[in-house]
Amino acid sequence: MTIYLGPNRYGKAETRVVRVTRDGARHAVTDLNVSVALTGDFAGTHLTGDNTGLLTTDAQKNTVYAFAREHGIASAEAFALRLARHFTGHPSVSRARVEVEAYAWDRLGDHSFARRGQEVRTATAVREGDAEWLVCGLRDLVVANTTDSEFWGYDKDRYTTLPETRDRILATAVDARWRHLSAGDGTDWDASYDGTRQALLDAFTGTYSYSLQQTLYAMGRTALEKRPELAEVRLSLPNKHHFLVDLAPFGLDNPDEVYVAADRPYGLIEGTVLREGAPDAGPAWE
């Protein structure tokens, strides 16, 4: 019997770094959570405990802080790329994956801020050899349509009791990630993020929907149509069920007014929308 080491990686996860830019009286805040994962020649560490060549996760954390000072944080995307390039410069490292979560703060004053608390913006840079990939995204953006959603025409098996509906609430917490055609430095990452976010919302809002799958595809397609810099969009959409309450036992009707917001179980719709001819994803999603 032979047993062997397969794919592996390691790194420092969730380094929380806040950078304050103090240009005169008007400050700015960047608030990130950075996770690094390195792949490379680390068989010795696994097999014999020989740590030669190993870059400690503690040093990775230190690098995050030092780079925030040395280079600033132009954007989550640029920072992730810079770190990925740095770590692949280490001799033992063949691939670096740097995931960044960014928390938005709204301005209250010159040096005062409130955390927005809506979606979390994400940026993941992957570098291997000279190749780079960038996957951006957002999560926890909770949206709802109170009409223009139907659901009918589905299969009925022995266990199907759901009544068909011509009008329902459609609600979800958008978890979207989009792969860029290129990780090139010319992109205006903030504009790209804002534009993609808006495309997703426009599609959610504007789609007369016969299923959450249809809405998912419309969101991915719209993002690709509006943002030529994107190669692929992946969406994971929980169907946050809102059930109409039966008020008949209390002598009341319920003309699509009063709903239960359910926790579990929930439908979960996952899908990928791609641009034809897009370059290979490589290790971007791993």
Q: How many residues does the chain have?
A: 286
Binds a second copy by CB under 8 A, chosen from 71, 118, 165, 188: 118
Examine residue 225 and tell whether it contacts a second copy (CB under 8 A).
Answer: yes
Strands 131-145 and 120-128: antiparallel
> What are the distances in angstroms from CA 164 to CA 134, 158, 196, 238, 261?
41, 16, 33, 20, 19
Concerning whether 12 is annotated as a catalytic residue, the answer is yes
Q: Which two tokens stand for residue 242?
A: 């809102």
Q: Which two tokens stand for residue 28?
A: 């700015």
**Cis peptide before 265, with omega less than 30 degrees from 0?**
yes
Examine residue 15 and tell whether it contacts a second copy (CB under 8 A).
Answer: yes
Q: Which stretch binds a second copy (CB under 8 A): 77-85, 128-136, 188-196, 235-243?
A: 235-243
Examine residue 262 and tell whether it contacts a second copy (CB under 8 A).
Answer: yes
- Burial of residue 1 (CB within 10 Å: 0-12, 13-18, 19+) is exposed
Concerning whether 241 is annotated as a catalytic residue, the answer is yes
Examine residue 11 and tell whether it contacts a second copy (CB under 8 A).
Answer: yes
Concerning whether 57 is annotated as a catalytic residue, the answer is yes
Examine residue 165 and tell whether it contacts a second copy (CB under 8 A).
Answer: no
CB of 221 to a second copy, least distance (A): 5
The residue among 77 and 119 lying less far from a second copy, judged by its C-beta, is 119
Give the contact letters, 45-64, x = binds to a second copy (CB under 8 A), - = no. Answer: xxxxxxxxxxxxxxxxxxx-
Examine residue 133 and tell whether it contacts a second copy (CB under 8 A).
Answer: no
Compute CA 10 distance to the chain's CA centroid, rounded to the nearest angstrom. Answer: 21
The residue among 183 and 203 lying less far from a second copy, judged by its C-beta, is 203
Residues 225 and 218: their CA atoms lie apart, in Å, by 10
Catalytic residue numbers, as ranges: 12, 57, 241
